């Protein structure tokens, strides 16, 4: 039984994004691994290190240069990668992506499949769950903890109000992890060297058929219906102006106020 991590290549989060057409201007962006997915990779590595998985396999769908995120997974310690090659534009439909990933995962003898809770760019937050649904695997989202005992996987899920649901999952299972579930390791120099010799299987995907799950229409900045009044001046000037606004707006006094 293997541990699988589903990862996505996304634009660097510190880029200056500009909407263009139905998506962003991609002409001068740096790319890297989706932050949430680093936690998925770490969870998969942890499962193997604890003796519950034979191999860790990282799987991605994306264009040729998305191979870089598989390399970073291999450098972290994953044993091998599977790259489902498709145009970046085809990643617009989570159903297309999930079906391709599910096909790949079904041949990997997966015990547990980890995914990030969502991708920083599209933010659909459902590819892991779709893969589980398509394969008939168990599923838990928003996992902040994992325990493995007697061949059973226990996931801690974060609910609203800070409550935690403890869920027992039959294997195979897909777990969509929250950031903070673990501390993703950095690749060591040795890991980076070793990653060059690790195998990556490349599979060309056929273009999506008509229909599918989702199509992009537009992308824009949110309306600022009730946008903040920005206070001008130096930090000191702005801060001084802010104090009276806070007192009046919130209708409260502060500890230092004269009684």
Under rule CB under 8 A, which residues in 85-104 are in contact with another protein? 93-95, 98
The reply to whether 84 sits near another protein by the rule CB under 8 A is no
Q: Is 198 in the site for another protein (CB under 8 A)?
A: no
Contact residue for another protein among 121, 177, 195, 198 (CB under 8 A): 121
Total binding residues for another protein by CB under 8 A? Answer: 92
Q: Which stretch binds another protein (CB under 8 A): 26-34, 61-69, 75-83, 225-233?
A: 225-233
Q: How far is the CB of 74 from another protein (least distance, A)?
A: 25
Q: Which is nearer to another protein, 30 or 161 (CB)?
A: 161
By CB under 8 A, the residues from 230 to 259 that bind another protein are 230-231, 235-236, 238-240, 242-247, 249-252, 254-258
Asked if residue 165 binds another protein (CB under 8 A), the reply is yes
Site for another protein in 122-161 (CB under 8 A): 122-130, 132-134, 137-142, 144, 154, 157-161
C-alpha 10, offset from chain centre: 9
Strand 152-158 relative to strand 164-169: parallel, antiparallel, unpaired? antiparallel
Residues 48-77 binding another protein (CB under 8 A) are: none
Q: Examine residue 224 and tell whether it contacts another protein (CB under 8 A).
A: yes
Closer to another protein at the Cβ: 18 or 202? 18
Give the span between the Cα atoms of 151 and 138, in whole angstroms.
14
Residues 6+ away with beta carbon under 8 Å from 27: none
| Residue 221 is a binding residue for another protein (CB under 8 A) | yes
Helix (H) or strand (E) holding 8: none
Q: Name the token pair of 97.
A: 């992506």
Tokens of 257: 């106020």
Q: Which of 20, 50, 54, 219 binds another protein (CB under 8 A)?
A: 219
Choose which of 51, 199, 204, 229 interacts with another protein (CB under 8 A): 229
Question: Cβ of residue 124: shortest distance to another protein, in angstroms?
Answer: 5
Q: Is 52 helix (H, G, I), strand (E, B) or coil?
A: coil
CB 61 within 8 A of CB 86: yes
Asked whether the CA dihedral 57, 60, 65, 69 is positive or negative, the reply is negative
Sign of the C-alpha dihedral, residues 49, 114, 207, 209? positive
DSSP 8-state symbol, 187: P
Question: Residue 201's Cα: distance from chain center in Å?
Answer: 22
Sign (positive/negative) of CA torsion 30, 36, 38, 40?
negative
Residue from 149, 163, 190, 197 in contact with another protein (CB under 8 A): 163
Neighbours of 17 (CB within 10 A): 17
The one among 21, 51, 107, 211 contacting another protein by CB under 8 A: 211
What's the min distance (Å) between Cβ of 194 and another protein?
A: 28
């Amino acid at each position: 039984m293997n541990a699988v991590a589903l990862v996505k290549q996304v634009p660097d989060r510190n880029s200056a994004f500009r909407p263009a057409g139905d998506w962003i201007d991609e002409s001068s962006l740096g790319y890297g691994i989706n932050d949430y997915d680093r936690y998925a990779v770490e969870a998969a590595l942890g499962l193997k290190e604890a003796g519950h998985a034979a191999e860790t396999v990282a799987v991605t769908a994306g264009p040729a240069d998305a191979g870089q995120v598989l390399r970073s997974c291999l450098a972290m310690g994953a044993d091998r990668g599977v790259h489902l090659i498709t145009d970046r534009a085809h990643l617009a439909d989570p159903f297309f992506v999930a079906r391709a990933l599910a096909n790949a995962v079904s041949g990997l003898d997966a015990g547990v499949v980890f995914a990030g809770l969502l991708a920083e760019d599209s933010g659909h937050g459902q590819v892991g769950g779709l893969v589980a649904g398509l394969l008939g695997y168990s599923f838990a989202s928003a996992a902040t903890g994992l325990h493995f005992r007697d061949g059973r996987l226990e996931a801690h899920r974060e609910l609203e109000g800070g409550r935690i649901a403890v869920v027992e999952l039959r294997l195979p299972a897909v777990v969509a992890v929250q950031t903070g579930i673990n501390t993703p390791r950095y690749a060591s120099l040795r890991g980076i060297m070793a990653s060059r010799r690790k195998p990556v299987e490349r599979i060309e995907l056929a273009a999506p058929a008509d229909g599918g799950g989702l199509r992009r229409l537009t992308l824009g900045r949110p309306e600022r219906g009730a946008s903040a009044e920005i206070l001008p001046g130096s930090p000191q000037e702005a801060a001084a102006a802010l104090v009276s606004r806070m007192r009046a707006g919130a209708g409260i006094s502060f500890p230092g106020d004269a009684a």
